[in-house]
Structure 1
Amino acid sequence: MDGRRWLKVAILLCLVVVSAGRELKFRHNHQFPIYNHTLATILVEYASAVYLSDLTELFTWTCSRCDGLTKGFEMIELIVDVQHCLQGFVGVAKDLNAIVIAFRGTQERSIQNWVEDLYWKQLDLNYPGMPDAMVHHGFYNAYHNTTVRPGVLSAVKEAQELYGDLQIMVTGHSMGGAMAAFCGLDLMVNCKAQNVQVMTFGQPRVGNSAFVSYYNELMPNTIRVTNGHDMVPHLPPYYSYFPQKTYHHFPREVWLHSIGFGSLVYPVEKVCDGSGEDPTCSRSVSGKSISDHLMYYGVKLGGDPEGTCRIVMDPHVAAYRTEDLSGNLVFSKYPSASVLKINTDLDPNVQGSII
């Protein structure tokens, strides 16, 4: 074996040892949730499926992304807020013995404008009941001040009545990840739910350090997965010299990236520290990639090629549909249990555009 081949073998062995050592060390830390690769590859498929615009295939779980690791999922409710271009669903994954909630992120066509807008967004909303905690108005509004929240809470209640007190797993990509974080907190604080887990992909920052402290105390079972040079986790910007005023990520991050050179490239899933802003994880690279934002674990995250808020619906699902005066839709497996609130009772202090 020549010198170059020996060098490649030695580098590969070092990478394996370093990776194994990191995982072993983390498994002994019970303060934060243990990252589960298998669970992440399952939940990312739910975060992908929720983007689809064919509501018939999505509601019946027969869509092109409704197979593989999510096969057999039972949809309870599909919520489509047409007015704000938001979408989410609630159902039961029997293989996980869990209720799964997924939120759609920003559609592809508007990502560039959305990213540019986030550079200028300020902390502008006091989170209720948390002194000094401030959050992003648009992300808070997307979950709390649309038809999404009443639809989700109604479906969770229905699922619990049917299947008992299952674990709840909340997921989403991009802005859907921000909504997932607010939903998990809402379930724990306002609905007194037990055993709630949040796992997001390519999520932006949503609040300041005070909010992060509250969130981390109330929602310790949270994983944020970031990928390579994905630009969205870098937004809104974090300014280390304004620690109390700037946006701040909550822990725990898992950073997907590759190391090596030439033909020897090794994928790494790095479990980051408990700060939420580990400088050796995604913050160690420039966040300039949209392609890294749209692909996690080899799964496409984003809408149809058109990237619009259009919907496709077959007439035979109309019996499951409830519609409000603004055209917002809820498809429920149990139509009599469906709840769709008209936007007349929304909090006037947080009304406005989503972004």
Structure 2
Amino acid sequence: MERHRWLTVAIFACLIVFSVGRELRLNHKHSDDAISFNHTLAEILVEYASAAYISDLTELFTWTCTRCDDLTQGFEVIELIVDVQHCLQGYVGVAKSLNALIIAFRGTQENSIQNWIEDLYWKQLDLMYPGMPDSMVHHGFYYAYHNTTIRPAILTAVDRAREFYGNLDIIVTGHSMGGAMAAFCGLDLAVNYNSQNVQVMTFGQPRIGNAVFASYYSKIVPNTFRVTNGNDVVPHLPPFYSYFPKKTYHHFPREVWLYNVGFGSFVYQVEKVCDDSGEDPSCSRSVSGKSISDHLVYYDVELSSPGWRSCRFVMDPPLAASYGTSDPNGNQVFSRDPGISLIRLKEQLVLDGKGSGAI
């Protein structure tokens, strides 16, 4: 029995040695194009994606929420966008530790995720992407970024940040539907704003276009990773049909699949960097992909709202009055000049006395 136990430990140790590779090297066809997947960056960005679900806008805007610490301490939000009309939320800010501008999008609210997933099974490619012949995309995801208050507010924040901080790297992230919006945002910045330093990393992202679109995307935004987890159902949607290669949805590369290996109580999470096809059959496509629970936790970080709520938000009234603007539909944008100290802003809140108001 003792011998068997030590044999188990030895085998598990070997698995760890061969699977760790915290920073894994990609095998592109051209070595000069090689880009590394950075495990540490992934653990940081998943926290930014998680914070996008916070509905207490005071805590999010001042970066004092329970999800606004750990690996993201010191982050400064300069723009917070809440599209109440379409139940969307995102923010832009500066992570000085990364020397980068972070853009993060919230995913689908968990109280509607089951219906949203069922709806995705039937979604068709129904929109030509501008300027990319034969590229078809999912109009719902495209419109969520391009035809709401989200895009103009994001681009305004990027311009203001560049004026103050110079040419920072731009990292775009999001989970679930937020990952789809992040992909369209990264592409938009590269195509329409000639941004050369755009990175995109998404978590549990659905497919958003066909194979032609995926090919264009991978050339324009090569520094992109889609992290998938175990049997997460959403990366399997909308469905991929290999026998209709020109008509079906198709993921763009590159996927990094998280899955567990081990024996009994010895379990270890492996990061597998997949091939450059976008649809590697040995990665998440190798499993059934029917789990919602695997969709809601990545790297042990929760990716859902802290409490059940509809598309309502809370903001401290003095803060909303000082930094917020709204349109006739009730959509809100909260902007902070990068030159205004976040410490000063927090001190003002203390003087005012933090209140709350539903938006």
Of the structure 1 ranges 292-301 and 11-20, higher mean CA displacement relative to structure 2 is found in 11-20
Of the structure 1 ranges 172-181 and 56-65, higher mean CA displacement relative to structure 2 is found in 56-65
Corresponding residue for residue 297 of structure 1: 299
Shift, 1:3, TM fit: 3.5
Shift, 1:64, TM fit: 1.2
Measure the CA separation in 2 of the matches of 1:299 and 1:22.
Answer: 18
Identical residues among aligned pairs (%): 73
Runs of 4+ in 1 over 6 A off after TM superposition: 21-24
What are structure 2's unaligned runs of at least 5 residues? 339-359
Contact 2:25 2:37 (C-alpha < 8 Å) held by counterparts:
no
Contact 1:320 1:334 (C-alpha < 8 Å) held by counterparts:
no
Seen in structure 2, the aligned counterparts of structure 1 residues 201 and 2 have a Cα distance that, compared at 3 Å, is same
Contact 2:44 2:71 (C-alpha < 8 Å) held by counterparts:
yes
Corresponding residue for residue 283 of structure 1: 285
Shift, 1:306, TM fit: 1.1
Contact 2:77 2:91 (C-alpha < 8 Å) held by counterparts:
yes
Residue identity in the other structure for 1:198? V
Task: For residues 2-22 of structure 1, give each alpha carbon's deviation from its aligned partner in whole angstroms, at most 9, with x where no partner exists.
Answer: 431243134224313432589
What pairs up with 1:194-273 in 2 under 5 angstroms?
Answer: 194-273=196-275
What pairs up with 1:51-130 in 2 under 5 angstroms?
Answer: 51-130=53-132
Measure the CA separation in 2 of the matches of 1:61 and 1:23.
Answer: 29
Contact 2:190 2:220 (C-alpha < 8 Å) held by counterparts:
yes
Answer yes or no: is 1:326 the counterpart of 2:329: yes
Contact 2:326 2:333 (C-alpha < 8 Å) held by counterparts:
yes
Residue identity in the other structure for 2:166? G
Task: For residues 135-155 of structure 1, give each alpha carbon's deviation from its aligned partner in whole angstroms, at most 9, with x where no partner exists.
Answer: 000000000000000000000
3-state DSSP class of the match of 1:83?
coil
Corresponding residue for residue 348 of structure 2: none
Shift, 1:168, TM fit: 0.2
Measure the CA separation in 1 of the matches of 2:4 and 2:200.
Answer: 45
3-state DSSP class of the match of 1:288?
coil
TM-score by length of 2: 0.90
What pairs up with 1:162-181 in 2 under 5 angstroms?
Answer: 162-181=164-183
3-state DSSP class of the match of 1:327?
coil
Task: For residues 136-190 of structure 1, give each alpha carbon's deviation from its aligned partner in whole angstroms, at most 9, with x where no partner exists.
Answer: 0000000000000000000000000010000000000000000000000000000
Task: For residues 10-61 of structure 1, give each alpha carbon's deviation from its aligned partner in whole angstroms, at most 9, with x where no partner exists.
Answer: 4224313432589766479553421101100111111000111111111111
Shift, 1:304, TM fit: 3.0
Contact 2:23 2:38 (C-alpha < 8 Å) held by counterparts:
no
3-state DSSP class of the match of 2:36?
coil
Contact 1:33 1:222 (C-alpha < 8 Å) held by counterparts:
no
Corresponding residue for residue 340 of structure 1: none
Seen in structure 2, the aligned counterparts of structure 1 residues 121 and 27 have a Cα distance that, compared at 3 Å, is closer
Measure the CA separation in 1 of the matches of 2:24 and 2:189.
Answer: 32
Measure the CA separation in 2 of the matches of 1:215 and 1:200.
Answer: 14
Residue identity in the other structure for 1:193? S
Seen in structure 2, the aligned counterparts of structure 1 residues 135 and 159 have a Cα distance that, compared at 3 Å, is same
3-state DSSP class of the match of 1:89?
strand
Contact 1:32 1:252 (C-alpha < 8 Å) held by counterparts:
no
What are structure 1's unaligned runs of at least 5 residues? 336-355
Contact 1:32 1:221 (C-alpha < 8 Å) held by counterparts:
no
Residue identity in the other structure for 1:4? H
3-state DSSP class of the match of 1:249?
coil
Answer yes or no: is 1:12 the counterpart of 2:12: yes
Shift, 1:263, TM fit: 2.0
Measure the CA separation in 2 of the matches of 1:105 and 1:55.
Answer: 16
Corresponding residue for residue 352 of structure 1: none
Aligned pairs, how many?
335
